[in-house]
């Protein structure tokens, strides 16, 4: 039995990862302060399992990590973050605090012990936003992992999230240099979506607003493109990376085959809901990147193939939100 620690395990990816590992018979410790308004039935069912331990603790406190034993865990997935575009704009200090402090205290905890679990740190495609805005049409699409990362406007609080991930990546390599922490990989998620993903991501926002009857339907921007990756495909990729011989690598997890206009994503939601679409177009938020699509050659070298189409994934997500939000 593999012993796994998941920080941020009550969140979207964390929950699905914990469920997958528990289903495989592993012992899973979920540590999270649980920023959601209440414990949903899916999460309650998960933490009721005999092989799942839930610790409700503040990951921005050093003491939280000092109470854990590094030699107990085989793998640590560090997912702790306050995600969602609305949070970046409305609660930027909180986004930055959770993202930065949890990573520094995690690395301090690892550095203080001789026994070192394998670590997967989850970063984000948001780290590319500055370079994409600066380079414009010269920004490479699909985007490889070695594109230089920049912050184009420190006054734009949307950067609270992307900057926290940049700091996290730098922290891992800095601690590796000083404390010989080498058994880690960094994954940059690119627009992962699926059931139970909260209310802030564009896919679930569109679905929730559709179910609530917003007509005409507002789209902020709409000419932007994204390549969305369903949660099941993302977890399969995460498993391949975890069990590979890679160390100290940066790897994209995403979809390079279905880049879609945001307007067309809304059309898919309306089509699944059985309605003709009626949109009102509004300006895109400040700092919104025009295109995002990852180069996933490194991931494909591990034998990963996309299994779930965008339409099928949105349909599964729609079904979950219809059950839980109507």
CATH number for the domain that contains residue 89? 3.40.50.720
What is residue 36's predicted lDDT score, i.e. its pLDDT? 63
Burial class (CB in 10 A: 0-12, 13-18, 19+), 271: middle
List the pLDDT tens digit at each of the 326 positions of the chain.
999 999 999 999 999 999 999 999 999 999 999 766 566 889 999 999 999 999 999 999 999 999 998 899 999 999 999 988 889 999 999 999 999 999 999 999 999 998 999 999 999 999 999 999 999 999 999 999 999 999 999 999 999 999 999 999 999 999 999 999 999 999 999 999 999 998 888 999 999 999 999 999 999 998 999 999 999 999 999 999 999 999 999 999 999 999 999 999 999 999 999 999 989 999 987 777 888 999 999 999 999 887 899 999 999 999 999 998 76
Domain annotation covers residue 107: yes
What is residue 325's predicted lDDT score, i.e. its pLDDT? 78
Which is nearest to 198 in space by CA: 29, 31, 10? Answer: 10
What is residue 9's predicted lDDT score, i.e. its pLDDT? 96
Domain annotation covers residue 287: no
* Beta strand residue intervals within 38-102, DSSP E: 52-56, 75-78
**Region label for 287, one of left (φ > 0), alpha (ψ between -120 and 50) or beta (otherwise):** left
Domain annotation covers residue 154: yes
What is residue 35's predicted lDDT score, i.e. its pLDDT? 66
Domain annotation covers residue 271: no
Domain annotation covers residue 201: no
Please, how many CA atoms are within 13 Å of residue 245, restricted to the half-sphere of its CB? 1
The 3-class secondary structure across 218-249, one letter per residue, is EEECCCCEEECEEHHHHHHHHHHHHCCCCCCC
What six digits make up the tokens of 196? 């139970």
The DSSP letter of residue 216 is S
Torsion of CA 317, 98, 109, 16, to 10 degrees: -10
| Residue 124 φ then ψ, to 5° | -155, 155
Domain annotation covers residue 124: yes
* Number of domains forming the structure of the chain: 1
Domain interval for residue 120: 3-194+230-254+293-307
Which is nearest to 128 in space by CA: 211, 191, 56, 76? Answer: 191
Global pTM?
Answer: 0.95
As a whole number of angstroms, the distance between CA 127 and CA 111 comes to 26
Domain annotation covers residue 153: yes
268 neighbors 207 (Cβ within 8 angstroms): no
Domain annotation covers residue 217: no
């Amino acid at each position: 039995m593999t012993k796994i620690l998941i920080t941020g395990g009550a969140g979207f990816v964390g929950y699905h990862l914990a469920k997958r590992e528990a289903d495989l018979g592993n012992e899973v410790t979920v540590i999270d302060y649980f920023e959601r308004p209440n414990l949903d039935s899916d999460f309650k069912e998960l933490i009721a399992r005999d092989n799942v331990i839930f610790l409700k603790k503040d990951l921005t406190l050093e003491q939280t990590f000092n109470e854990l034993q590094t030699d107990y865990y085989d793998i640590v997935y560090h997912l702790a973050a306050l995600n969602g575009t609305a949070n970046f704009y409305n609660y930027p200090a909180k986004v930055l605090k959770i993202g930065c402090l949890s990573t520094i205290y995690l690395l301090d905890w690892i550095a203080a012990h001789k026994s070192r679990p394998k670590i997967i740190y989850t970063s984000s495609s948001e780290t590319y936003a500055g370079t994409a805005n600066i380079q414009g049409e010269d920004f490479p699409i699909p985007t490889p992992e070695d594109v230089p990362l920049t912050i184009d406007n420190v006054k734009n609080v949307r950067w609270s999230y992307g900057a926290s991930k940049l700091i996290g990546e730098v922290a891992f390599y800095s601690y590796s240099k000083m404390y010989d922490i080498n058994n880690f990989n960094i994954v940059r998620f690119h627009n992962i979506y699926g059931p139970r993903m909260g209310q802030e991501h564009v896919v679930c926002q569109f679905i929730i607003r559709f179910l609530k009857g917003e007509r005409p339907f507002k789209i902020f921007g709409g000419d932007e493109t994204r390549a969305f990756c369903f949660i099941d495909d993302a977890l399969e990729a995460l498993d391949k990376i975890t069990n590979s011989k890679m160390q100290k690598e940066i790897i994209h997890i995403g979809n390079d085959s279905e880049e879609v206009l945001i307007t067309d994503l809304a059309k898919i939601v309306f089509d699944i809901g059985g309605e003709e679409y009626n949109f009102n177009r509004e300006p895109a938020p400040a700092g919104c990147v025009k295109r995002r699509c990852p180069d996933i050659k490194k991931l494909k070298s591990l034998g990963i193939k996309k299994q779930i189409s965008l339409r099928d994934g949105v349909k599964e997500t729609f079904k979950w939100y219809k059950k839980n939000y109507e």
